[in-house]
Amino acid sequence: MIGHDHEHLGLQMEKAMSSTESANDVTSSTSKELRRVVLSSYLGTALENYDFLLYVTAASLVFGKVFFSGLPPVAATIASLGTLGAGYLSRPLGALIFGYVGDRFGRKPALVWTLIIMGAATTLTGLLPTSQQVGALAPILLVTVRVVQGICVGGEWGGAALMAFEHAPERHRGFAASFVNAGQVSGTALGVGLLALFSLLPDEQFMSWGWRIPFLLSAVLVGVGLWIRLGIAESPLFIDQQRNGRGAGDVEDVPLWSVLRRPKSFLLILFALLGPFLLTAGIGSSFGLAYARQNGLDASAVLGITFVASVVCIPFAPLAGALSDRYGRRGIMIGGLVGAIVFIYPFLLMTGSGDTGPTLIAFIVLYAFIITPIFAVSVAFLAEQFETSSRYTGASLGFQLASTVGGGFGPAALASLLAVQNGGIGLILVLVIGTCLLSVLAIILTSSRRLPATSGVVTAQEGAS
């Protein structure tokens, strides 16, 4: 499925730009470069979500028995899920580290190193020894790999997003940046598809070696993505900044200080993304899928629903990005959040029915018309809130902090509210609707400015230097 997207990516980019190119936009040679940059960003975020999907599923089904075999079953499951939290908590640190690298020394170096280390951590997960083999060292190694992977994820998203955004001509930045989100849902679909395939193995084989294969296969994505990233040019906007004399040695220009000098703007961005992350990490994945299982669907049905919904929503990402170039970012994000407010009650009724058909429809609507448009547009929306000199740090840190709060703690909050009400959904509705309203207000209060068009044409030689 990811390969299918690759075949059409260049055609979509060329068609979208061919009718509007001008002397101030990219030439045909830079159009080719833009397609390569967008493909690079697409593959990086595909790997990121591929790993996330694999890890969440393995932590729920496998890791308790493999890495925490000395604990009682319930405690082992809790411990394995706790390693997921370690990865989330390390993401803001990665945003700071690679944000500094990306803002001071270039987007490309940060993008290359995050892919290498993130890919190595994902692949190594499939090679880790079990607790029966090395005892307490096994969970220590698992947590270490997860923290390293989380740091790189914290830096990878910002680099992938900004390279696509900053290479594109002004009128197509939303469309180009939206392929970052298309990569995320493609990675989810690929991970679900492979898990569904290997889950057909007998339980003993799946627990022994079957779960490791999807992690090891991530090396293929890393290899292709690295080959593409090593050949792309540096961001034109970053090169312009360097030519204008804003170098790496000015303490006053430390990116984090530039971001913190506008605390109100940064907090608004954080609040703007809380609702979307609660929707995608809570309602749309862990809690929502667990809720469907609790109400009668088996694991294979849940995997099938996730796969179909993920595939269906892929084209909605570039569509939303293109619409945002024409009609604005904020309107589409607000529209998605309002849709979530209206649809959350029907969604819970449909997923709680225990029937595959209504549950599948509910997830397709949530993914395609609510979550995907919001996140596809959020890439350009975030990038436009910061100057070039601090954009990598600001966009990455805002995105990852919201991910940690909304995505890291949201699912547990939803599950706790369900337990407190003995299966009731009233408090869940209050939390979701309230958080979405907060995000709508924050988006309204943020700046709606557009950055100036990229100046100059950057050659591959300049980008490689």
HEC per residue, the chain = CHHHHHHHHHHHHHHHHHCCCCCCCCCHHHHHHHHHHHHHHHHHHHHHHHHHHHHHHHHHHCHHHHHCCCCCHHHHHHHHHHHHHHHHHHHHHHHHHHHHHHHHCCHHHHHHHHHHHHHHHHHHHCCCCCHHHHCCHHHHHHHHHHHHHHHHHHHHHHHHHHHHHHHCCHHHHHHHHHHHHHHHHHHHHHHHHHHHHHCCCCHHHHHHHHCHHHHHHHHHHHHHHHHHHHCCCCCHHHHHHHHCCCCCCCHHHCHHHHHHCCHHHHHHHHHHHHHHHHHHHHHHHHHHHHHHHHCCCCHHHHHHHHHHHHHHHCCHHHHHHHHHHHHCHHHHHHHHHHHHHHHHHHHHHHHCCCCHHHHHHHHHHHHHHHHHHHHHHHHHHHHCCCCHHHHHHHHHHHHHHHHHHHHHHHHHHHHHHHHHCCCCCHHHHHHHHHHHHHHHHHHHHCCCCCCCCCCCCCCHHHHHC
Asked which of 27-31, 82-86, 263-267 is least confident by mean pLDDT, the reply is 27-31
- pLDDT bracket for residue 245 (50, 70, 90): low
The residue-averaged pLDDT of 241-246 equals: 72
Pairwise pLDDT comparison (330 vs 294), residue with the higher score: 330
Residue 439 confidence (pLDDT) above 50: yes
Q: How high is the mean pLDDT of the chain?
A: 84
Pairwise pLDDT comparison (237 vs 342), residue with the higher score: 342
Burial bucket for residue 86 (CB in 10 Å: 0-12, 13-18, 19+) = middle
Residue 206 confidence (pLDDT) above 90: no
Asked which of 158-167, 285-294, 300-309, 341-350 is least confident by mean pLDDT, the reply is 285-294
Q: Which tokens go with 415?
A: 């599950």
pLDDT tens for residues 43-57?
989 988 898 878 877
Residue 329: per-residue pLDDT: 94
Task: Report the distance separating Cα 269 and Cα 292, nearest Å.
Answer: 32
The residue-averaged pLDDT of 433-456 equals: 77
Most confident stretch, 72-81, 251-260, 341-350: 341-350
Q: Which tokens go with 62?
A: 């496998």
Pairwise pLDDT comparison (243 vs 457), residue with the higher score: 243
The alpha-helical segments, DSSP class H, found in 251-315 are: 255-260, 263-277, 287-294, 299-313
For residue 162, which amino acid is it?
L
The Cα-based distances of 196 to 66, 248, 434 in angstroms read 20, 48, 35
Q: Which tokens go with 50?
A: 């591929």
Task: Report the distance separating Cα 155 and Cα 193, nearest Å.
Answer: 27
- Residue in this structure with the two tokens 């230097």, named with its chain if needed: 465
Most confident stretch, 72-86, 251-265, 288-302: 288-302
CA 461 from chain centre, in angstroms, equals 30
Most confident stretch, 8-22, 69-83, 244-258: 69-83
pLDDT tens for residues 149-186?
899 999 999 899 999 999 998 889 999 999 999 999 99
Residue 462: per-residue pLDDT: 35
Residue 375 confidence (pLDDT) above 50: yes
Grouping H, G, I as helix, E, B as strand and the rest as coil, residue 352 is coil
Residue 258: per-residue pLDDT: 81
Residue 120: per-residue pLDDT: 92
List % helix, strand, coil for the chain (3-state, nearest 5). 80, 0, 20
Residue 392 confidence (pLDDT) above 60: yes
Residue 92: per-residue pLDDT: 94
- pLDDT bracket for residue 436 (50, 70, 90): very high
Give the number of other CB atoms < 10 A from CB of residue 427. 15
Residue 251: per-residue pLDDT: 40
The Cα-based distances of 10 to 39, 247, 285, 324 in angstroms read 8, 34, 30, 20
What does the domain layout of the chain look like in residue ranges?
A: 27-237+254-451
Residue 25 confidence (pLDDT) above 50: no
CATH topology of domain 27-237+254-451: Growth Hormone; Chain: A; (1.20.1250)
The residue-averaged pLDDT of 115-144 equals: 92
Residue 253 confidence (pLDDT) above 70: no
Backbone angles phi, psi at 288, to 5 degrees: -60, -45
> Which residues have C-beta within 8 Å of that of residue 345, sequence separation ≥ 6?
425, 429
CB 418 within 8 A of CB 341: no
Q: Which tokens go with 246?
A: 């804003």
The residue-averaged pLDDT of 400-422 equals: 86
The residue-averaged pLDDT of 141-147 equals: 92
> How open is the CA angle 119-177-407, to the nearest 5 degrees?
60
Residue 453 confidence (pLDDT) above 60: no
The Cα-based distances of 32 to 39, 174, 269, 443 in angstroms read 11, 18, 33, 34
